[in-house]
């Protein structure tokens, strides 16, 4: 066990590992009578394979369909009737499940999570899978196929990552793969990945750590470990030449997507990319936003960000093009700004971006469930929950030259995907 002092909020973090390999992180905080329970399984769409995509996400849905001692819709029922909130989400590298409950309901949340970790299979059946396949196909229609620009990020990743690379396909999966998922595969997936030694359980809130740990041991301690999981790896991506595509969609305004491969989340280069992105587009006074949206009025909006991915990331700039403006012109202006990233940005832009990230960091620590999710994240990826407190140091260490190196080596035309989404016809 280790305890780290929290300089920002002065809240201690405790770390434990149960005999079956389940890692447990606790942060007591009695500000409000709440507890956030957050469980990460280290499995996501990157553990899938071509032709069988969307599986991790469909599986997440199945975890809300009841387990041996919890009826079909009772997970949400039990949580909501005491004033709790619950959900789950799937991402490239992980799947999370969480409940925020009145603190005196901590054991309810632990029991629900333990029951589906330890006793899911007896409750699974074909009719539940059939229902959730339909629900997920409708989720895909709502968020991707019937959404303006909905296919764009999917296409960007298909172009940026080679076929077979674990980030090539979308997290929600392709329609035909979702439709084809079978119960046997679901069971196999569960046995492989939903095991205590592939999970991190974080609790933040108005709980007494020793009592919480004892309860966790009681609910989770007897669930057997898994049989080991092969680590998913991939060669770093560097494009040999620019990949360009125009996608016609049911949209009114065109959009320009420029995407570049970047270092994995947690690497110094990732933080340089994040800081550079904030320097470029963080607010009305940032150079790219000001130029494109405010001064020249070529774009309706522009954003940039770097995805926090485990084995190599995506740096992306997205600009919505004003009516009657050629997307090429927008791309050209972005290109001019990207050329300038080969040099260190002015000091005041660096300071502004650092302050914006600092404010965002504090903002993200307000809610117990966000903090619990971050503790699970740092533990899952880096085995180090104390990174929650030290995250800002990674930005403070960076110099203008670190950003320039990222700009020079990564943000070059040969190393990018350019996707234009344009109105149909």
Q: Would you tell me which residues interact with other proteins (CB under 8 A)?
A: 32-34, 72-73, 76-77, 80-85, 100, 102, 130-139, 141-143, 145-148, 250-253, 282-286, 290, 294, 297, 300, 320, 322-323, 348, 351-352, 354-360, 362-363, 366-368
Question: Quick one: 93 or 369, whose CB is closer to other proteins?
Answer: 369
Q: How far is the CB of 394 from other proteins (least distance, A)?
A: 16
Minimum CB distance to other proteins, residue 220 (Å): 25
- Angstrom distance (rounded) from CA 119 to CA 116: 5
In 3-state terms the chain splits into helix, strand, coil percentages (rounded to 5) of 45, 20, 35
- Which tokens belong to 136? 């997920």
Alpha carbons within 13 A on the beta-carbon side of 369: 14
Closest CB to other proteins among residues 131, 192: 131
In terms of CB distance, is 225 or 370 closer to other proteins? 370
Dist CA 290 CA 67 (whole Å): 53
- Report, in Å, the least distance between residue 86 CB and other proteins: 8
Which residue's CB is nearer to other proteins, number 171 or number 309? 171
Question: Cβ 407 to other proteins, closest distance in Å?
Answer: 21
Given the complex with other proteins, which of 72 and 225 has the nearer CB atom? 72
Cα–Cα distance, 81 to 90 (Å, whole number): 25
Beta-carbon contacts of 211 under 8 Å, excluding residues fewer than 6 positions away, are none
- Minimal distance in Å, beta carbon 139 to other proteins? 4
The CA-CA-CA angle for residues 160, 341, 262, to 5°, reads 30
Q: What are the beta bridge partners of residue 70?
A: 67
Q: Which is nearer to other proteins, 67 or 314 (CB)?
A: 67
* CB 146 to other proteins: min, Å: 4
Question: Measured from the CB of residue 250, what is the shortest distance to other proteins in angstroms?
Answer: 6
85 or 229, CB closer to other proteins? 85
Closer residue to other proteins, CB minimum distance, 143 or 218: 143
Quote the CA–CA distance of 225 and 198 in Å, as a whole number: 9
β-bridge mates for residue 320, sequence order: 255, 301
Q: Following CA atoms 143, 145, 149, 150 in sequence, which dihedral angle do they give, to the nearest 10 degrees?
A: 40
CB of 275 to other proteins, least distance (A): 13
Q: Is 250 helix (H, G, I), strand (E, B) or coil?
A: coil
What's the rounded Cα separation, in Å, for the pair 379 and 23? 8
Report the sign of the C-alpha dihedral through residues 303, 305, 307, 308, in that order: negative
Token pair belonging to 265 = 């989340």
Nearest Cα to Cα of residue 243 among 262, 258, 264, 263: 258
Q: Are 223 and 387 in contact (CB under 8 A)?
A: no
Taking the complex as a whole, the smallest distance from the CB of residue 252 to other proteins amounts, in Å, to: 4
Which two tokens mark 60? Answer: 């997440």
- What SS3 class is residue 23? strand
Residue whose CB is less far from other proteins, 328 or 355: 355
């Amino acid at each position: 066990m280790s305890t780290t002092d929290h300089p920002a909020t002065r809240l201690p973090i405790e770390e434990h590992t149960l005999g079956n390999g389940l890692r447990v992180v606790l942060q007591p905080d009695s500000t409000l009578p709440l507890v956030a329970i957050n469980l990460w399984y280290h499995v996501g769409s990157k553990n899938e394979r071509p032709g069988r995509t969307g599986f991790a996400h469909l599986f997440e849905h199945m975890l809300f369909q009841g387990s041996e001692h919890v009826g079909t819709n009772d997970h949400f029922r039990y949580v909501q009737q005491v004033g709790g909130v619950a959900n789950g989400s799937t991402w490239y590298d992980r799947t999370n499940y969480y409940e925020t409950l009145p603190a005196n309901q901590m054991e309810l949340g632990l029991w629900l999570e333990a029951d589906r970790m330890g006793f899911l299979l007896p409750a699974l059946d074909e009719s539940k899978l059939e229902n959730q396949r339909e629900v997920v196909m409708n989720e895909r229609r709502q968020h991707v196929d019937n959404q303006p620009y909905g296919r764009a990020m999917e296409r960007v990743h298909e172009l940026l990552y080679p076929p077979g690379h674990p980030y090539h396909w979308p997290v929600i999966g392709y329609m035909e793969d979702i439709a084809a998922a079978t119960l046997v595969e679901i069971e196999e997936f569960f046995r492989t990945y939903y095991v205590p030694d592939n999970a991190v359980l974080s609790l933040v809130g108005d709980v007494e750590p020793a009592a919480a740990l004892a309860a966790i041991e009681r609910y989770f301690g007897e669930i057997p470990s898994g049989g080991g999981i092969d680590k998913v790896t991939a060669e770093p991506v560097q494009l040999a030449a620019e990949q360009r595509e125009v996608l016609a969609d049911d949209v009114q305004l065109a959009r320009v997507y420029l995407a570049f491969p970047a270092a994995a989340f947690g690497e110094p280069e990732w933080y340089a990319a994040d800081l550079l992105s904030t320097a470029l587009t963080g607010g009305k006074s940032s150079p790219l936003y000001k130029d494109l949206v405010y001064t020249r009025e070529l774009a309706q909006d522009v954003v940039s960000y770097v995805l926090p991915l485990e084995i190599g990331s995506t740096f992306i700039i997205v600009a919505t093009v004003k009516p009657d403006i050629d997307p090429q012109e927008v791309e050209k202006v972005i290109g001019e700004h990207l050329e300038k990233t080969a040099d260190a940005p002015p000091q005041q832009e660096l300071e502004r971006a650092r302050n914006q990230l600092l404010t965002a960091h504090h903002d993200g620590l307000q809610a117990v469930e966000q903090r619990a999710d971050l503790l699970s994240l740092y533990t899952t990826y880096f085995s180090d929950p104390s990174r929650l407190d030290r995250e800002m140091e990674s930005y403070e260490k960076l110099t203008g030259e670190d950003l320039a190196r990222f700009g020079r080596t990564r943000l070059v035309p040969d190393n990018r995907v350019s996707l234009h989404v344009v109105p149909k016809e």
